[in-house]
Amino acid sequence: MDRVRITTVASLLVSAALSPALAQTPPADAVPPQARLGQRIQKLRDAVSYTSCVVIVSDPHSYIDAVASWSRASRFPVLIDDGSVQGREDIARFVRAFSPERVVRWNSPASTASPGEPAFNASVTTRVQAAVQRVWGVADPDAAKTTMAIKWQDLGHQPPGLVIASPNDPAWTAALPLAAAWGQPLIFLEKPSQGNIDGFLSVAEADSLEARVEQTAKESGLSWRSLGDTLESVTLCLNIPERIAKGKEFVALSDRIGREGEGLDMTTRWAWSGHIFGGASRAAYSAMCSLFLHPRRAWIFDGYPDTAPWNQYDGTKAAQLLEQSGIRCEVSDTPSQGSAAWRALASRPVTADLILVNTKGNNDFFDLEPGQCKPGDLPMLMRPAALHFVHSWSLLFPGKRETVGGRWLERGVFVYAGSVHEPFLQAFTPTPAVAGRLMAGAPFAPSIRQEGQPVWKVAVIGDPLYTPGPAVPRTSDPLPFEGATAVDEGLRELLQQDNWEQGVLSLKLMGRDADVAKIAQTLLENKPQALTPPLLREGILAAFRAGKPQLVFTLFAKWTPGMPHDEQALDAVWLAAGPLLATPDPAVIEQGVLLQMLKDALRPEQFEADARLVLNAWSRQFGVTAATQLLNEWKRKENSAAESASLEQLKVR
């Protein structure tokens, strides 16, 4: 995004007009369609209460039956433990944010599938549809679509959009709760486009998908052809590419879907869209975050200079709008907006629910004022977060953790606005406008979009209808089914029997990081032989989240050369070490010991950046001669061609 086109500030004026409009409650036709859609979502939310319990399941029948037990007046989050490290990280992150009274596991009596991710690839679509119907009071599992439409009509409910899924695509686990909660028609496409999230579609393939969506809209009998009518959104729950090839460039599928016709030149839309991808556990997490979490804190990092046109995206102005709505903000702006300030903030977990960042760069780095950071420098998130990331290329390959977008998603971002190619600065709605629209009650996708432009490069990953709003009332009501068991049932016995891994897992899923860190500290002091790689991993991550950097480093020192490094634990070590590499702090750990550990733990995906940080710190700590010896030591090792080339770029200073 080094090339910039000067653009109008019309979007800022729209945002400025939108907030007072809501406050004064004008006639419906005077309210912008973005705000009107948000009002519809808030009305649905106002009619519901949340049971203060998180339900964890492991198979598709249990997931379907748990969601089917929701009602229009009461619901609770349901998350999937597929046994994966990432799935359990997501559950723990959600639990920290939701802060339930209880966290339980549940298996449906009707469950016949084996637990784990593969079972979710063969969904029974009739069961999924029946679950949506049941939530809205249609008890007959064989009811036709017309029965559901009549029920909605009788209730005075207008579906805000369409949800699109596919049989045997595990992202249906997002489609089910989003259709059930917002009251949307759920459509299963038999043959969606081919490829995965990191591939790309042709224009013809994108046109074909849009045509099928439009046909579905027509068949619904609901008004859909323009903004401000009934159907206003399309949620794609599909593991298909987000990019569309346009010559040698790419544009975003989620900016194409919802525009009637063929090609990429149409300038009006009939719906705002978003794209959810991933396995069953991650897709469910994305949906549940959108439905059950509301923002309380924001982190804003403005890496742009205070000159035109960059200052149209001023993070400080965005923070002022958020704070007026009761959102607590942490702001990094002029003069604390460089890589050193970023690493200092990222050396501890970020507790924000909403993140707004302005940077420049590519899919594998982001430039600040001054300095440059890499994907591994992105902070660990304590809570799921919505992200508006003004930056080029971040979502070029969202399925790859070595990219900026992939790492943000791994960290726990559940709804994300970012670019799939070089969009130029004006493609992004200015950051203060996004903040103003969100706080005025507009959903996420409409809040980040600029209207009246052809299909372009900014994508929305996640539920387009995510609408920040006030907290929903909680109840302590019992769950509408029997047989749930508390996650911490038998915890004392597990720990007494030295079953540390299962005990730590129970604590993790309840978000009890401080207790996991205490167990790691105790084992370190009394039973170091019990610190298996899984326990070291959990201990490092928990110590980082608990604000114990010395424990992070001490546990990492136990990671013997024969053990493969865990990628997320290694990120935590580097994040905790970031400020120390610039300014040694003997009170945390002896600098020389830390450098000795890090010199043998350079991350392959950012080998040169890590090596440069260590080499510069080594030179300050031990002198230029010792740093030259270290560089030569690295060169003598067996390196990949890319690593060898990176080492040739390093200079000792």
pLDDT value of residue 194: 79
Residue range 40-59, pLDDT digits in tens: 999 999 999 999 999 999 99
Element spanning 201, H or E: strand 200-201
pLDDT value of residue 28: 54
Residue 17: CB atoms within 10 Å: 13
Contact between 412 and 351 (Cβ < 8 Å): no
- What is the average per-residue pLDDT within 422-429? 94
The residue among 437, 436, 444 whose CA lies nearest residue 414 is 444
pLDDT value of residue 101: 97
- What is the DSSP secondary structure assignment for residue 380, as one 8-state letter? P
- What is the DSSP secondary structure assignment for residue 383, as one 8-state letter? S
pLDDT value of residue 586: 67
Percent of the chain predicted with pLDDT > 90: 84
| Contact residues for 512 (Cβ-Cβ < 8 A; gap 6+) | none
State which CATH number among 3.40.50, 3.30.70, 3.90.580, 3.90.1150 fits the domain covering 290-468.
3.40.50
Q: How confident is the model at residue 588 (pLDDT cuts 50, 70, 90)?
A: low
pLDDT value of residue 195: 84
Contact between 195 and 267 (Cβ < 8 Å): no
- What is the average per-residue pLDDT within 436-450? 96
Residue range 275-312, pLDDT digits in tens: 999 999 999 999 999 999 999 999 999 999 999 999 99
Mean pLDDT check: name the lowest of 314-328, 362-376, 639-653: 639-653
Which whole-number Å values give the CA distances from 204 to 210, 262, 440, in the listed order? Answer: 10, 8, 37
Contact between 357 and 387 (Cβ < 8 Å): yes
Contact between 251 and 243 (Cβ < 8 Å): yes
Q: Bigger pLDDT: 598 or 140?
A: 598
The half-sphere exposure of 425 on its side-chain side, counting CA atoms within 13 A, is: 21
78-80 vs 53-57, strand pairing mode: parallel
Q: Bigger pLDDT: 18 or 262?
A: 262
Percent of the chain predicted with pLDDT > 70: 95
Confidence check: pLDDT of 16 > 90: no
Confidence check: pLDDT of 12 > 50: no
- What is the average per-residue pLDDT within 439-463? 97
pLDDT value of residue 21: 34
Strands, E assignment, 225-327: 233-237, 243-246, 249-252, 272-276, 297-302
The residue among 642, 421, 644, 623 whose CA lies nearest residue 652 is 623
Contact between 432 and 245 (Cβ < 8 Å): no
Contact between 393 and 365 (Cβ < 8 Å): no
Residue range 67-95, pLDDT digits in tens: 999 999 999 999 999 999 999 999 999 99
Confidence check: pLDDT of 562 > 90: no
Confidence check: pLDDT of 514 > 70: yes
pLDDT value of residue 587: 64
278 phi/psi in degrees, rounded to 5: 115, 180
Confidence check: pLDDT of 136 > 90: yes
Record the pTM.
0.93
Residue recorded with tokens 């987000």: 242
pLDDT value of residue 104: 98
Which whole-number Å values give the CA distances from 278 to 39, 59, 598, in the listed order? Answer: 30, 16, 32
Question: What does the mean pLDDT of the chain come to?
Answer: 91
The distance in angstroms from the start CA to the end CA of the chain is 30
